Amino acid sequence: MTAQTFDHPFFARMWTVMSAHEAGVMKKLRKENLAGLTGRVLEVGAGTGTNFEFYPDTVTEVVAVEPETRLAPHAKQAAAAAPVPVTVIESTIETMPATEPFDAVVCSLVLCSVDDPDAVLRQLNSVLKPGGELRYFEHIAQPGWRGRLQRAVDSTFWPKMAGNCHAHRETERA
């Protein structure tokens, strides 16, 4: 299967700026999500490599998949400065080359943008070693006025401008 990539110039520019100015609380959540990981890790949707600095030294290798052609160079730059070995692959998870199983899979703010979250989660579970863990850090559909706002945004320009992000996706149910 040929690796698939995307080119969303507005999203890539927006994400690069947002990740460079990420709030301390977001960094804290990222660090907590990665704490205790060991061995070989697959990171799906690496973006600009924001997670890389937070991997504990018990991780022996990170294989990071990033399909956005304008974000992958930023991820590769962050990989060079990471405290653990990181290899960035320009591909979607759906078209990633076959590989050895992983001890853990990490998804950070990415499941909102895949076309079929259930299929992607099945695929992620298939690349985990027995007893491996899936860690995710995602925004989810909200109730009340926030949910109405998310649905309104989803039905307008947001998915096209934000790399196929669906703000009101019920990710936790997938």
The answer to whether residue 134 sits within a structural domain is yes
Domain span including residue 136: 9-140
The structural domain count of the chain equals: 1
Amino acid at site 144 = G
The answer to whether residue 45 sits within a structural domain is yes
Q: What is the CATH number of the domain that holds 19?
A: 3.40.50.150
For residue 58, pLDDT over 60 is answered with yes
Q: Over the stretch 15-49, which tens digit does the pLDDT of each residue have?
A: 777 778 878 888 899 899 999 999 999 999 899 99
The answer to whether residue 169 sits within a structural domain is no
- State how far the Cα of 76 lies from the Cα of 24, in Å rounded to an integer: 23
Q: Over the stretch 106-157, which tens digit does the pLDDT of each residue have?
A: 998 777 667 788 888 888 999 999 999 999 876 666 677 776 766 676 677 7
The answer to whether residue 51 sits within a structural domain is yes
The answer to whether residue 76 sits within a structural domain is yes
- pLDDT recorded at residue 171: 60
The answer to whether residue 162 sits within a structural domain is no
- The mean pLDDT value of the chain amounts to 83
The answer to whether residue 107 sits within a structural domain is yes
Closest CA to 170 of 147, 141, 150: 141
SS3 22: coil
The answer to whether residue 32 sits within a structural domain is yes
